[in-house]
Amino acid sequence: MSRADKYEKIERIGEGTYGTVYKARSLLTQEIVALKKVRLDDEDDGVPSSALREICLLKELRHPNIVRLLDVIHTEKTLNLIFEYCDQDLKKYFDSCNGDIDSTTVQSFFWQLLQGLSYCHEHSVLHRDLKPQNLLLTKNGELKLADFGLARAYGIPVKCYSSEVVTLWYRPPDVLFGAKIYTTSIDIWSAGCIFAELANGGKPLFPGESVDDQLRRIFKVIGTPTEETWPGVSSLPEYKPFSIYQPTLSLIHFVPKLNNKGKDLLLRCLICNPNQRISAADALQHPYFSDIQSVN
C-alpha cells in the first residue's frame, strides 16, 4: 500500500486556496483527518508556490489555535496535505446560528483567534487571509487558524509584498490603497472585522462589492483619513481622494451587543492608520478578556 492509499476519502468538504479538501479516514489508525488534494497536471508549473509556502510555514508553527499539518504525501500527479480534522468553519457556524451568538462564545472565539495570531506574529508570520472560512472549529469549541496559502514570513530587511491579499471584506485601508509594505497590522484589521461579525451574529461589517465601495463603506463608519490622521496616506500607490466623511454614528453603534470593553478593543483594531492598530499580544491583555486572563 502506497502512502497515498493509506487514506480513504469520505466526503468533499470544501475548496482551499489551491486544492480540494476532503474529510478522510486513515486506514491504519482509523483517525478522521482533512485531506487537501492538489493536482499537479501541468509539469511546467510543478507544485504551486502557495502549497509550498503553506507546508513550510505549518511545519514550523505548533500551537493549539493553528491547524496541525500531520503529513505531506507527494505522488506523480498529486500533492496531498493531511491536516487534523475540524468539524466546521466559522462561516458555516454563522450560517447555523441564525444571527445570535452568546457573548461568552464571542469572547472565547476572539480570544482564540488572537492567541493563534499572536503566535504567528511572534514567529514572524503574516497570515494575510483571515476570514470566517479560514477559521476552523472543533466540536469542543476550539478555534484554529487555517489555510496559510497566502501567508508569508516577514522580517528585516523590509521587502515589498503583494497588495493582492486578503479577501475584500477583511482587507485594511492601507492594502486597499495598494500598500506594498505592511506589518502584522494587516491581520489585526481582518481580526477586528471578524470580531464585529461575531458580535453581530455573523453579519459582515464591511461587505463591499469593489475596492472603491469597500473604502467608502469603511470611511462612512470610521471617517475618511487625512494626512493629519494618517501621515503618508496620500503617497500610497493607489490612493485616491474620497469624500470627507464625518461619521454620524461611531463604529461602536454597529456592534450593539458588545459590552463597552469589547467596543473599546474593536476600536483599537479598526484604525485606518496601520501604525496605530493594537498588536495581537496587547489585545490579549485588554480588559475585555479580564475573566479569561484570570483563568489562564
Answer yes or no: 129 catalytic: yes
Buried-exposed string 221-258: b where 16+ CB fall within 10 A, e elsewhere: bbbbbeeeebeebeebeebeeeeeeeeeeebeebbeeb
Hunting for cell 514567529 — which residue is that? Answer: 123
The residue type of 271 is I
Could you say which of 71, 100, 129, 291 is catalytic?
A: 129
Contact 257, 103 (CB under 8 A): yes
In whole angstroms, give the CA distance from residue 150 to residue 190.
14
- Give 191's Cβ-side CA count (13 Å radius): 31
Rounded distance between C-alpha atoms, residue 274 and residue 271, angstroms = 7
Residue 240 is assigned to a ligand binding site: no
Positions annotated as catalytic residues are 129
Residues of each annotated binding site for ATP: 36
Binding site: what residues are annotated? 36
